[in-house]
Chains A and B, each alone.
Chain A
Amino acid sequence: MSDDPDIRRGARLGIAFFSIYTAFYAAFVGVAAFGTFAAGAPSGGLASMAALGLPWGVVAGFGLIGGAFVLAVVYAVIAGRGGRT
């Protein structure tokens, strides 16, 4: 990594944001792979779980897409305040 303190700070910020999003994405993939079906059929609780009356996959999908944009904007604002160019 660079020795420039501004660049190092920016890289740390990026890694922190990346870690947050990766945790949510990994949880989503894990639930889709292991938590939705058992023996080919919806596995009850999780498969029927919903928010706003929507299936969990739709809520999670919209959340991951919208959340990516929100995180991106927050990151850009913080990084911009740091004066990095």
Chain B
Amino acid sequence: MIYETTPLAVAVFVAFVVAVLALSIWLGSRARSAGGYFAAHGQVGWFVNGIAFAGDYLSAASFLGICGMIAFSGYDGFLYSIGYLAGWIVALFVIAEPVKRLGRFTLADALNARFQSRGIKVVAAVSTLVISLFYLVPQMVGAGALVKPLLGLPHWAGVVMVGIVVTGIVATAGMVSTTWVQFIKGTLLVAICTFVVVLILGRGFAVPERPIPPDTVQTYSKDASGTFVNGAPLSADNQLDSKLRRDFGTGFGSIASLPGGVSETGPLGPIEYIRVFADSTVTTWKKGSDPAGSTAFSPVERKGSDLLLPGGSPTFKGVRADSIASKLDFISLMLALFLGTASLPHILIRYYTVRDPAAARKSTVVGIGAIGIFYVLTLYLGIGAMTSGALDPTDSNMSAPLLAKTFGEGLFAVISAVAFTTVLGTVSGLVMAGAGAVAHDLMKDAMRMELSDGQQVRAGKIAAVLLGIGAIILGILFERMNVTFLVGWAFNVAASANLPALVMLLFWKGTTRQGVIAAMAMGLVSSLTWIMLSADTLEKVYGYSAADAAASSLVPFSQPAILTVPLGFATLVLVSLMTRGRGGGVATED
């Protein structure tokens, strides 16, 4: 589809980004020491830190990906919302306060608090970098996807913009400016999404002027000579939804019939909105191909109640199958979301920015509140987009911004700018975690380089610049790939590599240095190996067809956490028992 760039959109976008940057740099201008650079002097207030948690955690995958998944497939996107939020329970009840007590700047600090082991530092730093990499790529690709419709710029320009801005944020004042970017972003995201949901409820549902016949087909093809819609070149007057709008008065995604045969509902309350949707029939669009090889979209009417059951998307279709392997894949992903949050390095380092464990606890509660509100809103945003007549069937990630566009260009510009700051906030946290792992864990502690406070900060800034350049390159290379699934993998790897070591260190006195190293290495290697051999990777990374990928896969399902997390625990216990009294040391918490 072609999106028109308007001066208003550009002005709002530029104003947002400049304001966020200026404020963060001003607020962070006093960070000079390593404590200031890596942990904001440990003086961030618990409320600000709580909202910054939301800003750090609610990534492009949450905002654009979940809304898009609900808009295209229904309830399955909401499963991610539930799993992502549930993970904070592990963070609050098990991890938050001990991690704050044990650590200083990084995840490795907490894991290594009792052992002073170079091995733990190395494996924790590698784990941090791998997880951050999995998380970074979809954010960068999301940035590229956003600037195309908003500013009319190519994908690479968006990726470069994010890379430069984030490197600027992290290299100027590290965790202080990162915290304020995340705070501003978290506040804006929840506030703007709440506003859009109020508008959605106020509008209610309406059926199109004329019903869409089931034999309607819209085709789309792209080759060296250009892009074609229904056999004619793509243009402002011949977009994928142009004919639909002319013939039926709506684009993709609409209500086919409302309960009671009414043509519109008028404003609805939040419970009534879901209830009416469940009792309605919705026109969704199935993707296929026509005899000429073009991608063909044809309408499929589905009951709203069916769209509010799990298993409607390719990701979770196993829920509706009878095969145990398919169901295990689903359970494994939900387990990874539950256990992965509290193991994500860029989340854990936020605990070092507050004064004490009590502040860590309170800020997590604030974070759960803000994040929980957002995830409830995702269901309304997704359903609103699904029935807005404004979907782009070639790009689910644009569902939320295009929904906002149905309320006016101004809101589209604001939502897109907020989405861009969403990317900035999360990428800043990821680069910060990576910079800490390189400068503090690898260079200073593992390689035993004699670094003064100032040198450590400089090393962190150089690492941030290098990570920013790496992120830009990966964001450009992965443009064509559907990368949302990488976030799910990041949760699998984080849960497998980090959680067993963190939990056992806190709750089992018999944990040894060797046990921690072995468990982290086992969790990291086993989860990565499993992912690389899975059907999902064969299809989405190596380009196999779905059938070939399923036939060639060496593992029975794609999400490894259900096996690799227990494997990490078992490895730690076994190795710790074998190495007790042999210089392994044992762990106790202060």
Tell me the nearest residue of chain A to B311, going by C-beta: A37
Distance in Å: Cβ of A71 to nearest Cβ of chain B: 7
Is A32 a contact partner of B330 (Cβ separation < 8 A)?
yes
Whether B128 is near chain A, meaning CB under 8 Å from some CB there, is: no
Is A57 a contact partner of B75 (Cβ separation < 8 A)?
yes
Whether A53 is near chain B, meaning CB under 8 Å from some CB there, is: yes
8 A Cβ contacts from B302-361 to A: 305-306, 308-311, 319-322, 327, 330-331, 334-335, 338, 356-358, 361
Is B590 a contact partner of A4 (Cβ separation < 8 A)?
yes
Interface string of B570-590 (1 = CB under 8 A from A): 000000000000000000111
Contacts of B81 in A (CB 8 A): 61, 65
Tell me the nearest residue of chain A to B589, going by C-beta: A2
Contacts of A57 in B (CB 8 A): 75, 78, 308-310
Give Cα distance in the complex from A11 to B93, angstroms: 8
Contacts of A25 in B (CB 8 A): 86, 89, 334, 338
Whether A44 is near chain B, meaning CB under 8 Å from some CB there, is: no
Distance in Å: Cβ of B579 to nearest Cβ of chain A: 20
Give Cα distance in the complex from A72 to B90, angstroms: 11
Q: A36-B319, A52-B271, A61-B81 are in contact. Are A84 and B357 (CB under 8 A)?
A: yes
Is A34 a contact partner of B588 (Cβ separation < 8 A)?
no
Is B97 a contact partner of A33 (Cβ separation < 8 A)?
no
Tell me the nearest residue of chain B to A66, going by C-beta: B372
Q: A4-B590, A58-B274 are in contact. Are A33 and B376 (CB under 8 A)?
A: no
- Could you say which of B21-29, B362-370, B477-485, B515-523 contacts chain A? B362-370
Is B94 a contact partner of A14 (Cβ separation < 8 A)?
yes
Give Cα distance in the complex from A25 to B334, angstroms: 9
Give Cα distance in the complex from A10 to B310, angstroms: 37
Give Cα distance in the complex from A10 to B101, angstroms: 13
Please tell me which one of the listed residues B90, B322, B327 contacts residue A18 in the complex, with CB atoms under 8 A apart.
B90
Is B368 a contact partner of A68 (Cβ separation < 8 A)?
yes
Contacts of A71 in B (CB 8 A): 89
Is A2 a contact partner of B588 (Cβ separation < 8 A)?
yes
Distance in Å: Cβ of A34 to nearest Cβ of chain B: 7
Is B590 a contact partner of A37 (Cβ separation < 8 A)?
no
Is A72 a contact partner of B321 (Cβ separation < 8 A)?
no
8 A Cβ contacts from B530-578 to A: none
Contacts of B330 in A (CB 8 A): 29, 32-33
Tell me the nearest residue of chain B to A47, going by C-beta: B309
8 A Cβ contacts from A37-61 to B: 37-40, 42, 47-48, 52-55, 57-58, 61
Known contacts A15-B93, A18-B89; 9 further A-B pairs (Cβ under 8 A): A25-B86, A29-B334, A61-B79, A61-B81, A66-B372, A69-B365, A72-B89, A80-B358, A84-B358
Q: A interface vs B, CB < 8 Å?
A: 1-4, 7, 10-11, 14-15, 17-18, 21-22, 25, 28-29, 32-34, 36-40, 42, 47-48, 52-55, 57-58, 61-62, 64-66, 68-69, 71-73, 75-76, 79-80, 84-85
Q: B interface vs A, CB < 8 Å?
A: 75, 78-79, 81-82, 85-86, 88-90, 92-94, 97-98, 101, 271, 274-275, 278, 305-306, 308-311, 319-322, 327, 330-331, 334-335, 338, 356-358, 361-362, 364-365, 368-369, 372, 375-376, 379, 506-509, 588-590
The 8 closest A-B pairs by CB, nearest first: A18-B93, A14-B93, A2-B589, A55-B308, A53-B275, A37-B320, A72-B365, A33-B327
Q: Name 10 interchain pairs, CB-CB below 8 A, sorted by A.
A: A2-B590, A17-B93, A18-B94, A21-B93, A22-B338, A32-B79, A33-B319, A58-B379, A65-B376, A71-B89
